[in-house]
Structure 1
Amino acid sequence: MLTKLTAAEAKMFLRDPGAPAVVAGIPLALLLIFGLMPGSREPSAQYGGQSSLATLIAPMAVAILLGVLALNLYPGAMAAHREKGVLKRLAASPVPPSRLLAAQLVVNLGAAVVAILLVVGVGRIALGMALPRNPGGFLAVTVLGAVALFSVGTLLAAVAPSTRAANGLGAAVFLPMLALGGVWVPKELLPPLLQHITEVLPLGATLSSLRDTAAGHAPHLLPLVSLAVVTVACSVLAARFFRWE
């Protein structure tokens, strides 16, 4: 039954022209626009002798992609199912509503995998971008960041009564993370206090750790602990407050 639900949710995701366009378009646009700027592909002392494309722009594209999926598209889809009574009908059927939640997670994580492969592939082939120097760490951080961000998204989906409310809550959470997460302004340019806040917020912690691993370093402990704490806390709260109708 999970396979059928996942297939149905995937069809709905693909039928909406906006969702695939946003998922693939935003990270690729960021990569190409900034990657074609003069000097972005050249080694820089500011980035440890590596290019800003590989160590800043590509990690930023991946982090923003995960944030859009987890904090905007996923909660909105779940809220739409609640608003239309789909969750209520499932609750009265032999199929547990949690299967729909799992199917939505599978679809969104699958979209994330495809988009990340596109970012890496286009960056490598079209722009000559170096691959992450710590590929295992980059993969692990991507997974941990996705889990943390989707746990936040699940909490938003748990309390949003309608699609409009979910979109509003998602924007209210996502936009401050962009501002304070080292996306709009690289964390090195932020005041010391805000640099610490950056590494605590889920989006900032993900981006910071992706940048570290892309440059060949091990991620710092604080962002990893933050992501783990956010995952546990938001998952517990989502399970406590999730409403099926």
Structure 2
Amino acid sequence: MMLTRLTAVEAKLFLRDPGAPITVIGVPVALLLVFGLMPDNGRPSDDFGGQAPLPGFIAPLAVAILIAMLALTLFPAAMASHREKGVLRRLAASPVPPSRLLAAQLLVNLGAALVVVLLIVVGGRLALGLALPANPGGFLLTLVLGTLALFSVGLLVAALASTGRAASGIGTAVFFPMLALGGVWVPKEQLPGVLRGLADVLPLGATFNALRSSWTGTFPAPLQLITLAVFALVCGVVAARVFRWE
């Protein structure tokens, strides 16, 4: 019951800030629509490993960026802000453990991610003729592991940052290099050899490239899935040990 109330409060705070919902919904959907409406996006292209750009790059890009924005910027900033304002300290002195607030924050962010992923998949299908993920098992497994890995990194950022502004800055500093090195700005097939391998061992790049594979019908590479599991475990354990409620 208390977790339900906390989740409802955190959801209201999330929706009350116009920047958060606009960013979470607007950026991925805009990426899908703007690039998806370009001509020939449904035809195979050598630039995208012989796959059509829409299912082979654009749609997975929208999903991966959505999860990364929530996990690396919004979630850690919210948790660090609660610590900065003394909310976690007050909860620690009450019958409600601060971990309930952490769980509520995770539920709100995961709920937002689920809604927008469905919007991308279903809306893309209806508006753009986007093919559904051809390997649904690999797609769901990637979503789960990618979400765990990226939110574990975000939890570590929240654990180390002293203020909400610091958490947002650190998360952004982590987010953009992952975009550059993960095959997101430039398709992995067009990266030099060393960077091509690096794209599969960064959590955002591994998530994105595994989504690309599963959306076009192949199972994600073992290296990508192992990378996500390792990041989820290591960052989650470290964050749990160093996280400060005050």
The match for 2:239 is 238
Root-mean-square deviation (Å): 1.1
Q: How far is the alpha carbon of 1:143 from its aligned partner?
A: 1.1
Structure 2 residue identity aligned to 1:157: A
The match for 1:223 is 224
State the distance in 1 between where 2:10 and 2:145 align.
24
Q: How far is the alpha carbon of 1:50 from its aligned partner?
A: 4.2
The match for 1:124 is 125
TM-score, reference length from structure 1: 0.97
The match for 1:64 is 65
Structure 1 residue identity aligned to 2:103: A
Provide the secondary structure at the position in 2 that maps to 1:177: helix
Provide the secondary structure at the position in 1 that maps to 2:219: coil
State the distance in 1 between where 2:216 and 2:184 align.
17
State the distance in 1 between where 2:222 and 2:67 align.
21
The match for 2:209 is 208
Q: How far is the alpha carbon of 1:47 from its aligned partner?
A: 4.8
CA contact (8 A) 2:47 2:190 kept: no
Structural mapping, 1:117-196, within 5 Å? 117-196=118-197
Q: How many residues align?
A: 245
The match for 1:20 is 21
Report the more deviating stretch, 231-240 or 37-46.
Answer: 37-46
State the distance in 2 between where 1:239 and 1:118 align.
33
State the distance in 2 between where 1:197 and 1:48 align.
17
Q: How far is the alpha carbon of 1:121 from its aligned partner?
A: 1.7
The match for 2:34 is 33
The match for 1:111 is 112
Q: How far is the alpha carbon of 1:90 from its aligned partner?
A: 0.4
Deviation string, structure 1 residues 52-102 (Cα, Å, up to 9, x no partner): 101110001100000000000000000110111000100111111011001
State the distance in 1 between where 2:160 and 2:47 align.
43
Structure 2 residue identity aligned to 1:155: L
Q: Unaligned regions of 5+ residues in structure 1, if any?
A: none
State the distance in 2 between where 1:48 and 1:103 align.
40
Identity of aligned residues (%): 66
Structure 1 residue identity aligned to 2:244: R
The match for 1:80 is 81
State the distance in 1 between where 2:182 and 2:71 align.
16
Deviation string, structure 1 residues 124-151 (Cα, Å, up to 9, x no partner): 1111111110012111101110010000
Provide the secondary structure at the position in 2 that maps to 1:183: coil
The match for 2:52 is 51
Structure 2 residue identity aligned to 1:190: L
State the distance in 2 between where 1:50 and 1:175 align.
26
Q: Unaligned regions of 5+ residues in structure 2, if any?
A: none
Provide the secondary structure at the position in 2 that maps to 1:95: coil
Structure 1 residue identity aligned to 2:6: L
Q: How far is the alpha carbon of 1:49 from its aligned partner?
A: 5.8
Q: How far is the alpha carbon of 1:39 from its aligned partner?
A: 1.1
State the distance in 2 between where 1:168 and 1:193 align.
28
Structure 2 residue identity aligned to 1:14: L
Question: Does 2:90 match 1:89?
Answer: yes
State the distance in 1 between where 2:101 and 2:49 align.
45
